């Protein structure tokens, strides 16, 4: 008889108010190959994109690909058992797992360090291997060491929201005094402000909510702008108070916001899209670049943990 574990299992998509996640006893994951490790989960972040997939918002883009699943893809825990070929980690160490649970490590994307684009990747929380449970197994190649001094509940959100923010900031080609605007100050955007400041950028935060802009200021944003659906007025406001931005990152999943972000940057500027949606009007002759971004690589996750404050 395999050991059991408790898990929040999603068998049918639906609004969270209808409690689609049911606590269920399922077979505990076991090590099945030599490089695999068994992790006892200490904390798992609650990511907004996970909420979208639970509620069925992303069904048309194939997320989640199968049911039932155990959602949760910002996982932190302690290693309690290692396979015979594990060399990078020891029992007792704390590790984290991003949405990238595994990839083939053999294709062009994997060889270029963009394993999150691998066609054969497995996503954490889109099978029975997710974070809203007690145990998970992971290859030593897809776990990142969490510093001992960092509390698991602080570390967990960095494994999706954090790496997404970090990579999106990197995608703006940040440098000292570059004027970077961040549209959408939520779970990801508030982290992007901090990473952009570390890079020396002049950061503008844009949100509909004054409360979020207060947080943005506390986190170091140099300028804040209240977003308005009156695009003309918003752009005029930006122009008068600040001037057009060099680059913008869009975290708000609203096409209208993307359109405004594209118009709020200078000619030749860069817009990084870190959300799902359509790109509205795009004028090629302004030589703007639109760049998509998705989580981050294992290397970038490692960099992120090295630079994050340990608490
Ligand atoms: Zn996420
Ligand atoms: Zn691959």
- Per-residue DSSP letters for 247-307? EEEE-S--HHHHHHHHHTEEEEEEEEE-SSS------GGG--EEEE--S--HHHHHHHHHH
Cβ-proximal residues to 164 (8 Å cutoff; 6+ apart), any chain: 188, 274, 293, 294, 295, 296
Please tell me the distance between residue 282's alpha carbon and the centre of ligand 1 in angstroms: 28
The pLDDT tens digits of the residues spanning 254-271 come to 999 999 999 999 999 999
Q: What is the pLDDT of residue 309?
A: 61
Nearest to 188 by CA among 210, 169, 208, 211: 169
Per-residue pLDDT tens for 6-34? 999 999 999 999 999 999 999 999 999 99
pLDDT, tens only, 271-292: 999 988 888 788 888 999 999 9
Distance 202 CA to ligand 1 centre (A): 26
Give the per-residue pLDDT at 9.
98
Burial 208-243 (b: 16+ CB within 10 A, else e): beeebbebbeebebbbbbebeeeeeebeeebeeebe
Cβ atoms of 251 and 272 within 8 Å: the answer is: no
**Separation between Cα atoms, residue 287 and residue 282, nearest integer Å:** 10
CA 301 to chain CA centroid, nearest Å: 11
In sequence order, which ranges of 42-114 are alpha helices (DSSP H)? 48-55, 108-111
14 three-class SS: coil
Residue 193 has pLDDT above 50, yes or no: yes
pLDDT band at residue 310 under the 50/70/90 scheme: low
Chain-centre distance for alpha carbon 59? 19
Task: Summarize the confidence of residues 219-248 as an average pLDDT.
Answer: 96
Tell me the CA–centroid distance for residue 84 and ligand 1, in Å: 31
Q: Do 179 and 223 form a contact (C-beta atoms < 8 A)?
A: no
Ligand 1 center to 75 CA (angstroms): 10
Share of the chain above pLDDT 70, in %: 99
* DSSP category for residue 19: -
Averaged pLDDT, 178-195: 96
Confidence of residue 1 (pLDDT cuts 50, 70, 90): confident
pLDDT surpasses 90 at 213: yes
Residue 164's pLDDT is 96
Ligand nearest to the CA of 297: 2
Using the predicted structure, report yes or no on whether residue 88 has a pLDDT greater than 90: yes
The number of the ligand nearest the C-alpha atom of 116 reads 2
* Banded pLDDT at 311 (limits 50, 70, 90): very low
pLDDT at residue number 253: 86
Instruction: Tell me the CA–centroid distance for residue 2 and ligand 1, in Å.
Output: 30
Torsion of CA 82, 87, 88, 89, to 10 degrees: 30
């Amino acid at each position: 008889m395999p050991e059991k574990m408790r898990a929040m299992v999603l068998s049918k998509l639906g609004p969270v108010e209808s409690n689609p996640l049911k606590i269920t006893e399922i077979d505990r994951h076991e090590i099945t190959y030599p490089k695999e490790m068994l992790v006892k989960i200490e904390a798992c972040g609650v990511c907004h994109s996970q909420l979208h997939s639970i509620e069925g918002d992303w069904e048309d883009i194939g997320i989640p690909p199968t049911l039932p699943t155990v959602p949760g893809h910002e996982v932190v825990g302690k290693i309690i058992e290692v396979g015979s070929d594990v060399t990078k980690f020891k029992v007792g160490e704390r590790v984290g797992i991003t949405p990238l649970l595994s990839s083939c490590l053999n294709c062009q994307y994997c060889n270029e360090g963009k394993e999150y684009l691998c066609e054969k990747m497995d996503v954490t929380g889109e099978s029975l291997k997710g974070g809203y449970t007690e145990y998970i197994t992971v290859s030593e190649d897809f776990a990142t060491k969490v510093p001992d001094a960092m509390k698991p509940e602080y570390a967990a959100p960095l494994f999706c929201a954090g790496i997404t923010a970090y990579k999106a900031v990197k995608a703006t080609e940040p440098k000292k005094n570059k004027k970077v605007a961040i549209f959408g100050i939520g779970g990801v955007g508030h982290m992007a402000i901090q990473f952009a400041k570390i890079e020396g950028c002049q950061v503008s935060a844009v949100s509909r909510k004054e409360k979020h802009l207060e947080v943005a200021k506390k986190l170091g944003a140099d300028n804040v702008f209240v977003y308005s659906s009156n695009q003309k007025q918003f752009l005029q406001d930006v122009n008068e108070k600040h001037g057009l931005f060099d680059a913008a990152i869009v975290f708000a999943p609203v096409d209208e916001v993307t359109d405004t972000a594209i118009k709020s940057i200078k000619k030749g500027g860069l817009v990084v899209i870190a959300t799902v949606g359509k790109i509205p009007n795009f004028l090629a002759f302004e030589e703007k670049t639109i760049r998509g971004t998705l989580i981050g690589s294992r290397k970038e996750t490692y960099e992120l943990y090295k630079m994050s404050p340990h608490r």
